[in-house]
Amino acid sequence: MLSIEFLLLYLALGGFVGFMAGLLGVGGGGILVPLLALLFGYQGMASGQVIHLALGTALTCMIVSSAASIRAHASRGAVQWHIVASMAAGILVGAFMTARWSSHINPAYIALFFSLFMAIIALQMFMNWKPRPSQSPVSLPGLLLAGLGIGAVSALAAVGGGFLTLVYLGYKNVELRKTIGTSAAIGFPIAIAGSLGYLVSGWSHTSEIPYTLGYIYLPAFVTIALASMAAAPLGARCSHNLPEVQLKRIFGLVSLALSIKMLAVFV
pLDDT digits (tens, 9 = 90+) for 102-115: 767 777 777 777 77
Q: What's the rounded mean pLDDT across residues 27-44?
A: 82
Q: How much of the chain exceeds pLDDT 90, in percent?
A: 9
Q: What's the rounded mean pLDDT across residues 116-141?
A: 70
CA angle 51, 187, 205 (to 5 degrees): 30
Please count the other Cβ atoms lying within 10 Å of the Cβ belonging to residue 248: 18
Number of domains present in the structure of the chain: 1
Residue 211: pLDDT band with limits 50, 70, 90 = very high
CA–CA distance from 150 to each of 14, 137, 188, 210, 262 (Å)?
Answer: 24, 19, 12, 32, 21
Q: What's the rounded mean pLDDT across residues 163-185?
A: 75
Q: What's the rounded mean pLDDT across residues 11-40?
A: 79
Residue 84 domain boundaries: 4-266
> What are the strands, taking DSSP E only, across the chain?
212-213, 216-217
> Which residues, in sequence order, are CB contacts of 168 under 8 Å at separation 6+?
146, 150
Give residue 212's pLDDT: 94
> pTM to 2 decimals?
0.76
Question: Is the pLDDT confidence value at 255 over 90?
Answer: no
Give residue 163's pLDDT: 67
CA dist 21 and 32 (Å) reads 11
CA dist 160 and 27 (Å) reads 9
CA dist 91 and 105 (Å) reads 20
